[in-house]
């Protein structure tokens, strides 16, 4: 398991410029979407008229190596 580097506790999703908080019925109020990269398209089994992109869902206390201050 990779752990957050010491001294970087403020550098979580909640304080990242790429994170957009949005409560999820499935996950709860402390979750949001990481908007660092373009959304991905889910696999399509049949052709549809509407394609919806998906951003990764993360908790506000999650972190990664791409964090940037708001």
Domain boundaries along the sequence of the chain: 18-37+54-63
What integer pLDDT is reported at residue 31 of this predicted model?
94
Q: Side-chain half-sphere of 2: how many Cα atoms within 13 Å?
A: 6
pLDDT in tens, the chain (70 residues): 556 666 666 789 999 999 999 867 778 889 999 999 999 887 777 776 676 788 999 999 999 999 999 9
Widest CA span in the chain: 48
What is the spatial distance between Cα 31 and Cα 2, in angstroms, rounded to a whole number? 20
């Amino acid at each position: 398991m990779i752990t957050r580097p010491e001294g970087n506790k403020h550098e979580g999703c909640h304080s990242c410029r790429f994170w957009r908080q949005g409560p999820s019925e499935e996950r709860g109020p402390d979750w949001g979407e990481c908007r660092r990269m373009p959304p991905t398209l889910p696999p399509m089994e049949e052709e549809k008229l509407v394609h919806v992109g998906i951003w990764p869902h993360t908790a506000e206390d999650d972190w990664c190596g791409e964090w940037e201050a708001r």
